[in-house]
Protein backbone atom coordinates (compact mmCIF):
# COMPACT_ATOMS: atom_id res chain seq x y z
CA UNK A 1 0.00 0.00 0.00
CA UNK A 2 1.40 3.17 -1.14
CA UNK A 3 0.83 5.99 1.13
CA UNK A 4 2.21 9.46 0.52
CA UNK A 5 3.29 11.81 3.24
CA UNK A 6 1.56 15.11 2.71
CA UNK A 7 1.93 18.46 4.43
CA UNK A 8 -1.11 17.71 6.55
CA UNK A 9 0.60 14.74 8.20
CA UNK A 10 3.49 16.88 9.27
CA UNK A 11 1.19 19.58 10.57
CA UNK A 12 -0.82 17.07 12.49
CA UNK A 13 2.26 15.67 14.22
CA UNK A 14 3.45 19.17 14.90
CA UNK A 15 0.08 20.13 16.42
CA UNK A 16 0.07 17.06 18.64
CA UNK A 17 3.60 17.77 19.81
CA UNK A 18 2.66 21.37 20.56
CA UNK A 19 -0.42 20.35 22.51
CA UNK A 20 1.58 17.84 24.57
CA UNK A 21 4.16 20.53 25.28
CA UNK A 22 1.53 23.06 26.27
CA UNK A 23 -0.21 20.61 28.52
CA UNK A 24 3.10 19.82 30.20
CA UNK A 25 3.89 23.48 30.71
CA UNK A 26 0.49 24.14 32.20
CA UNK A 27 0.14 21.05 34.33
CA UNK A 28 3.52 19.83 35.53
CA UNK A 29 5.09 21.18 38.68
CA UNK A 30 8.72 20.40 38.19
CA UNK A 31 10.57 23.22 36.51
CA UNK A 32 12.85 20.85 34.59
CA UNK A 33 9.86 19.08 33.09
CA UNK A 34 8.21 22.37 32.27
CA UNK A 35 11.39 23.42 30.59
CA UNK A 36 11.51 20.25 28.55
CA UNK A 37 7.89 20.72 27.52
CA UNK A 38 8.73 24.22 26.47
CA UNK A 39 11.45 22.78 24.24
CA UNK A 40 8.88 20.37 22.87
CA UNK A 41 6.68 23.29 21.88
CA UNK A 42 9.62 24.92 20.20
CA UNK A 43 10.38 21.69 18.30
CA UNK A 44 6.77 21.52 17.16
CA UNK A 45 7.07 24.98 15.73
CA UNK A 46 10.36 24.01 14.08
CA UNK A 47 8.75 20.98 12.53
CA UNK A 48 6.08 23.18 10.99
CA UNK A 49 8.75 25.42 9.57
CA UNK A 50 10.66 22.53 8.00
CA UNK A 51 7.51 21.00 6.62
CA UNK A 52 6.42 24.20 5.00
CA UNK A 53 9.81 24.76 3.49
CA UNK A 54 9.90 21.21 2.14
CA UNK A 55 6.53 21.52 0.44
CA UNK A 56 7.08 24.98 -0.85
CA UNK A 57 8.54 24.11 -4.25
CA UNK A 58 10.48 26.77 -6.09
CA UNK A 59 11.66 25.96 -9.64
CA UNK A 60 11.29 22.23 -8.96
CA UNK A 61 13.32 22.39 -5.78
CA UNK A 62 12.20 22.61 -2.13
CA UNK A 63 12.81 25.98 -0.51
CA UNK A 64 16.10 25.33 1.32
CA UNK A 65 16.05 28.74 2.95
CA UNK A 66 13.72 27.36 5.60
CA UNK A 67 15.98 24.36 6.22
CA UNK A 68 18.99 26.62 6.76
CA UNK A 69 17.00 28.92 9.04
CA UNK A 70 16.18 25.92 11.18
CA UNK A 71 19.81 25.30 12.00
CA UNK A 72 20.13 28.83 13.23
CA UNK A 73 17.08 28.39 15.40
CA UNK A 74 18.45 25.19 16.89
CA UNK A 75 21.72 26.91 17.65
CA UNK A 76 20.02 29.80 19.41
CA UNK A 77 17.73 27.37 21.22
CA UNK A 78 20.77 25.43 22.48
CA UNK A 79 22.21 28.63 23.89
CA UNK A 80 18.87 29.48 25.45
CA UNK A 81 18.65 26.05 27.03
CA UNK A 82 22.07 26.54 28.57
CA UNK A 83 20.93 29.84 30.11
CA UNK A 84 17.60 28.41 31.22
CA UNK A 85 19.16 25.38 32.86
CA UNK A 86 21.70 27.58 34.57
CA UNK A 87 18.85 29.67 35.99
CA UNK A 88 17.10 26.56 37.21
CA UNK A 89 20.28 25.32 38.87
CA UNK A 90 20.75 28.69 40.54
CA UNK A 91 17.14 28.63 41.68
CA UNK A 92 17.55 25.17 43.09
CA UNK A 93 20.65 26.19 44.95
CA UNK A 94 18.96 29.15 46.57
CA UNK A 95 15.56 27.59 47.23
CA UNK A 96 16.26 23.88 47.47
CA UNK A 97 13.34 23.14 45.19
CA UNK A 98 12.27 23.27 41.57
CA UNK A 99 8.57 23.27 42.30
CA UNK A 100 6.95 26.24 40.53
CA UNK A 101 4.24 26.40 43.18
CA UNK A 102 6.88 27.34 45.72
CA UNK A 103 8.56 29.97 43.59
CA UNK A 104 6.16 32.79 44.22
CA UNK A 105 7.99 35.56 46.05
CA UNK A 106 7.10 38.07 43.30
CA UNK A 107 3.47 37.70 44.25
CA UNK A 108 1.92 40.65 45.96
Partner 1 sequence: MTDANTTAWALLLLPLVTAGLIVVATRRWSGLSALLATGSAGITLVLAALLAAGGESVVETKTFPWIDLGTHLQVGIGFEIDGLSRGMMLIVTIVGFLVHLFSLGYMKDDRGKSRYFAGLSLFMFSMTGIVLANNFVMMFVFWELVGVSSYILIGHWYDKPSAGDAAKKAFLVNRIGDFGFMVGILLVWVLTGSIYFKEIAAALGGIVPAGILHAAVLCIFCGAVGKSAQVPLHVWLPDAMEGPTPVSALIHAATMVAAGVFMLARVGFLIEASELAAHVITWVGAITALLAALMAVAQSDIKRILAYSTLSQLGFMVMAQGLGPEGSGAGMFHLYTHAFFKALLFLGSGAVIYACHHEQDIWKMGGLRKKTRITFITFAIGTAALIAFPFTSGFWSKEAILDAALHEQAYGPFWIAVVVAFLTPFYMMRLLVVAFFGKARTDHASHAREVAPVMWIPLVVLSVLALLSAYPFIAGPMMAQSPGRHGDFAHLFGHWGLTATVSMVGLIVGNVAAVALYRGRDSEPLKLPLLKNKFYIDEFYQGIVRIAQDSTAKGLDFVDRYLVDPLFARFPAFGAMGAGSLLRLFQVGNVQAYAMAFGLGALLLLAFLLF
Q: Which residues bind partner 1 (CB under 8 A)?
A: 22, 25-27, 34, 100-101, 103-108
Q: Which is nearer to partner 1, 75 or 95 (CB)?
A: 95
Listed in sequence order, the residues at least 6 apart from 96 whose beta carbon sits closer than 8 Å to its beta carbon are none
Q: How far is the CB of 46 from partner 1 (least distance, A)?
A: 18
Q: Which is nearer to partner 1, 1 or 26 (CB)?
A: 26
DSSP 8-state code for residue 67: H
Q: How far is the CB of 98 from partner 1 (least distance, A)?
A: 12
Evaluate whether 24 touches 37 at the Cβ level (below 8 Å): yes
Strand partners, 93: none
Helix (H) or strand (E) holding 61: strand 61-62
Q: How far is the CB of 106 from partner 1 (least distance, A)?
A: 6
Q: Which is nearer to partner 1, 13 or 41 (CB)?
A: 41
Measured CA to CA, the distance from residue 48 to residue 82 in angstroms comes to 24
Amino acid sequence: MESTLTLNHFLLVSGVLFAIGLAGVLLRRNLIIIFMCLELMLSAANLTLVAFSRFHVVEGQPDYNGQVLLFFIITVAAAEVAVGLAIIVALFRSRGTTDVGKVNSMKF
